[in-house]
Amino acid sequence: MHSTNGRIFDRNGDGDLDITRQWFLVTNLYMRKNSAHSEDQVFPYFELADCNPDIFKRIRASFVYTEPDHPWIKMSDDELIRSAGMYKRDPITGKSGMTLAAALLFGKDETIFNILPHHKTDAILRVENLDRYDDRDDIRTNLIDSFDRLMAFIAKHLPDKFYLAGVERVSLRYQLFREIVSNLLIHREFANRFPAKLIIERDRVRTENWSLPRGWGAIDPLNFAPYPKNPVIAKFFKEIGRADELGSGVRNVFRYTPVYTRGGKPELVEGDVFRAVVPLQSVESKTVRRETTWMEVRDKVRCKFGEKFGVSSEKILQLIFKNKRLTAEGVSVKLNISKRAVEKQLAKLKDMSVLERVGPDKGGYWQIIFD
């Protein structure tokens, strides 16, 4: 990085942009030109006592049945970290210690917050309430638990489809979104304060994370050169089965998306902010959409449950169809029955898989299911 007569310029296409007084752009330029990875930053006073011992146990347990001879099973926690390349010597200060990668993978939540206060991943469902959200998980924890929570959020709000790989049935949803989630977590620039996001919308799933791009624009799976943003973290995720070889993840996204969406094509766009979009237009949703009429819903429910459904349940369902955010107390007032009786009916409808609660009791809403 150089300056000319006290000015700093960033080459962009055929132009040179003066970014001297724009500290944010200067910082980004510095990070792009830095040959070292931020995951290798050494923290001499970060010790094993600052790690979550449960993470080590879970990693070893995952190998017991799949790879019983894996060397990490018999290693101590310190040996495992060193073996994974997360204990290094800083060539500038001469100090040795565990790295940022170790903190993000094994650190306790309070440790990660102290080292990287802005670290978070936002999981958002925005289908009905477009101004805010219908459901949200504000994830501020280690990358392994972050992966599990993001996959659980996806499983909660997106359907799975029957899919055979050879003669074995596999979860198509897991195969596709494992790649999306692992990319969101491991190929990001952690030094930047831009929060990573996974957003489920009515017609698509999209992710955003800050990146150090080596190219710009849409990624072509047939003509791209993969570059490891955080090679140590990426290698660790591959070792524990949360990601594939570098480059395979992109090809899997383009492979599984048309099957999951019946012909849809993903978009992976590289830039300062890396964006991934998986369309959902063609996925058959199990939930009732707004354009469906009450008569259609009623007939489908009657066809499915017959006389077992009940008149009271049908009245409650009709009220919820008109107002998905209606509470048990609101239903009791409209029907002039006790709140306890309404709660029993709602519980029955949930047990029959007619109703599903999305989000918390306060701020959430009901979904009617008839498929």
The CATH code belonging to domain 294-368 is 1.10.10.10
**Mean pLDDT comparison of 72-81, 217-226, 349-358, highest-scoring range:** 72-81
Mean pLDDT of 322-346: 87
Crossing angle, helix 172-186 and helix 143-157, to 10 degrees? Answer: 140
Q: What is the pLDDT of residue 101?
A: 95
Question: For position 360, what pLDDT does the model report?
Answer: 72
Counted residue by residue, the chain has a size of 371
Higher-pLDDT residue of 297, 342: 342
- 118-279 with 294-368: one CATH topology? no
Q: Count CB-CB contacts under 10 A for residue 101.
A: 29
pLDDT tens profile 166-220:
777 888 999 999 999 999 999 888 888 889 999 999 899 999 998 877 777 888 8
Cβ-based burial of 196 (10 A; exposed 0-12, middle 13-18, buried ≥19): buried
Q: Residue 260 burial by CB count (10 A; 0-12/13-18/19+): exposed, middle or buried?
A: buried
pLDDT at res. 290: 46
| pLDDT tier at 285, thresholds 50, 70, 90 | very low
Q: Model confidence at 122, in pLDDT bands (50, 70, 90)? A: very high
Task: Find out whether 186 and 155 touch, Cβ atoms under 8 Å.
Answer: no
Query: What is the band of 21 on the pLDDT scale with cuts at 50, 70, 90?
Result: confident
The half-sphere exposure of 166 on its side-chain side, counting CA atoms within 13 A, is 1
Query: Model confidence at 46, in pLDDT bands (50, 70, 90)?
Result: very high
Q: Give the CATH class of 118-279.
A: alpha beta
Q: Where are the domains of the chain?
A: 19-114, 118-279, 294-368
Q: Which residues of 138-158 are buried (b: 16+ CB within 10 A; e: fewer)?
A: ebbbbbbebbebbbebbeebb
